[in-house]
Each structure stands twice: as structure tokens, then as C-alpha cells.
């Protein structure tokens, strides 16, 4: 099966897609300050009666790449390909968290617990449990938001494609990402922080969701040239005839 170039391409794209999604879930526990990272003065936003700085989860660094990969897979393997990968990714994310929780509850070796003391980590077991033991509300919100966002992305991508044909890949990529990221940004916060134990007020939910959406959308737009680069590499690898056949079958779905 892997002697066929289109099959090898799907395996590589699927591998990056799933790997990026799982990495984003696990690194999302860290909150970073964008201004400090870039060496800029703090930017104090004010929305819905709330204010704050540009602080995001580290997962937002890689989620735009996931959505770019979604559009590339969509272009060549269609709605069925993206949906199948999205369902598989959700299963594997849950699988990864299950074993993270199993690892947390393994009895730590006594010598290991304090092995990081010289590096400012007096209790490695507590640190491990905190980093990998994300709350169930956060995990549920992230997984549900991811799946809903993916299904919306694939539907809008093909709707725009039916209208524009092979032209304007930037338009279908931007339109699908704009709507899917909007849903993703607010669904994850609503489940994790409004329904969850923190019970955020509506104003904070709207303000933080808007800022997060703005960042994700901006990052996705900035990455549009990457779609054209990947498309050129893929069509050079497959050959014009094979690439055209894949896109035609994808569009027919």
C-alpha cells in the first residue's frame, strides 16, 4: 500500500495532524505572556468590562498548524478523510490522557521525588501530576471544541470550494478557519471555565474568548502562504495528473 505515493502522502499528513493535536493538548497547560516573549511593552486590552494582557495557552502556538493541515488534507482527500482523522485524533487524545492519569497514580520511587531539588523542583511527583493531570472539564472542553471545529471547518471548506472551484484556495482556507476557530475558541472556554468549577462570569468568558479568537485567526491568516508552499511541494511529489485526480475526487465528495 505504501508503494503508492498518494497513500504515503496521506500517512505523512495524518501523522503530523495527529501529532500536532496531541502536543497542543499537553502543552496547553502552560500560559505564556506574548508581550514578554516578544520583548514588547504590555498591551492592556479592555473588552466587555474586563481587562488583561495578551496571555495565551501554549497550545495556541500549534493549533493554527492543525487547522492548516486540515485544509491541506481536505484539498486532496476530501471530507471523509478529514472526518475520519478527526474522530481518530479524538480517540487518541483521550487514550493519551488516560495513560497520563495512570502514570500519575503510579507510586513514585522515593529517590526520584526529590531528584529535581537542585533545579528548583522539590517534588517531581507533584510537578508531574500538575502538568499532566489537567482537569476533566478542560480536557472535555478541548476535545469537544476540537471535534466541532473540525466538522465545521470541513463543511465550510467544501461549500466555498463548490462556489470557487480550484481558484482562491486562500479564500476557502480563511473562511473555514475563521468560522471553525470562532466556535472552537468559545466552546472550549464555555465548557472548561463557565460550566466547570471556576464558573466564569459571562463578561470574562466573552472577553477572553474574543482575545483568543483574534490571536488564532491572525496566526491562521499569517500561515496562508504555508498552504501554497505545501500545495506546491505535494503536487511536485505526486505529479500533476495524480494531484489533479485526488483533488477531483475530494471535490466530488
DSSP string, 92-103: HHHHHHHHHHHH
**Dist. CA 115–CA 90, nearest whole Å:** 35
Residue-level pLDDT at 252? 80
User: SS3 of 196, please?
Assistant: coil
Give the pLDDT of the chain (253 residues) as one tens digit per residue: 667 889 999 999 999 999 999 998 888 888 888 888 888 888 888 888 888 888 888 888 888 888 888 888 998 998 888 999 999 999 999 999 999 999 999 999 999 999 999 999 999 999 999 888 877 778 888 889 889 989 998 889 888 888 887 788 888 888 888 898 888 889 988 888 888 777 889 998 898 889 888 888 888 888 888 888 998 999 999 998 988 888 888 888 7
Residue-level pLDDT at 54? 83
Residue-level pLDDT at 236? 92
**Dist. CA 81–CA 78, nearest whole Å:** 5
Residue-level pLDDT at 49? 82
**Dist. CA 252–CA 221, nearest whole Å:** 27
Nearest C-alpha neighbor of 126 from the set 140, 116, 138, 136: 116
The residues with which 239 forms a beta bridge, in sequence order, are none
Q: What does the domain layout of the chain look like in residue ranges? A: 5-34+55-114+124-252
User: SS3 of 17, please?
Assistant: helix
Check if the beta carbon of residue 180 is closer than 8 Å to that of residue 150. Answer: yes
From residue 122, how far is each of 107, 142, 172 by CA, in Å?
A: 17, 30, 50
Residue-level pLDDT at 2? 65
Residue-level pLDDT at 38? 86
DSSP 141: H
Cα separation of the two ends of the chain: 23
**Dist. CA 135–CA 138, nearest whole Å:** 5
Residue-level pLDDT at 39? 87
Dihedral sign, CA of 84, 86, 87, 91?
positive
Amino acid at each position: 500500500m505504501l508503494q503508492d505515493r498518494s497513500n504515503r502522502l496521506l500517512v505523512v499528513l495524518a501523522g503530523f495532524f495527529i501529532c500536532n493535536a496531541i502536543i497542543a493538548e499537553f502543552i496547553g497547560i502552560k500560559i505564556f505572556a506574548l508581550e514578554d516573549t516578544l520583548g514588547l511593552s504590555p498591551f492592556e486590552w479592555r473588552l466587555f468590562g474586563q481587562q488583561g494582557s495578551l496571555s495565551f495557552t501554549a497550545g495556541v502556538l500549534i493549533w493554527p498548524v492543525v487547522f492548516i493541515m486540515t485544509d491541506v488534507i481536505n484539498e486532496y482527500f476530501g471530507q471523509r478523510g478529514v472526518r475520519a482523522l478527526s474522530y481518530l485524533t479524538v480517540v487518541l487524545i483521550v487514550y493519551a490522557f488516560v495513560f497520563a492519569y495512570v502514570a500519575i497514580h503510579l507510586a513514585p520511587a522515593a529517590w526520584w521525588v526529590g531528584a529535581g531539588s537542585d533545579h528548583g523542583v522539590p517534588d517531581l511527583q507533584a510537578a508531574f501530576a500538575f502538568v499532566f493531570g489537567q482537569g476533566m472539564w478542560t480536557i472535555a472542553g478541548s476535545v469537544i471544541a476540537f471535534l466541532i471545529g473540525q466538522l465545521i471547518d470541513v463543511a465550510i471548506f467544501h461549500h466555498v470550494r463548490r462556489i470557487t472551484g480550484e481558484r482562491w484556495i486562500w479564500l476557502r482556507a480563511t473562511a473555514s478557519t475563521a468560522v471553525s476557530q470562532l466556535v472552537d475558541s468559545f466552546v472550549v472556554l464555555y465548557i472548561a471555565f463557565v460550566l466547570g468549577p471556576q464558573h466564569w462570569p459571562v463578561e470574562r468568558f466573552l472577553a477572553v474568548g474574543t482575545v483568543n479568537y483574534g490571536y488564532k485567526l491572525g496566526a491562521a491568516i499569517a500561515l496562508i502562504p504555508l498552504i501554497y508552499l505545501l500545495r506546491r511541494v505535494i503536487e511536485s511529489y505526486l505529479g500533476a495528473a495524480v494531484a489533479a485526480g485526488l483533488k477531483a475526487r475530494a471535490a466530488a465528495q
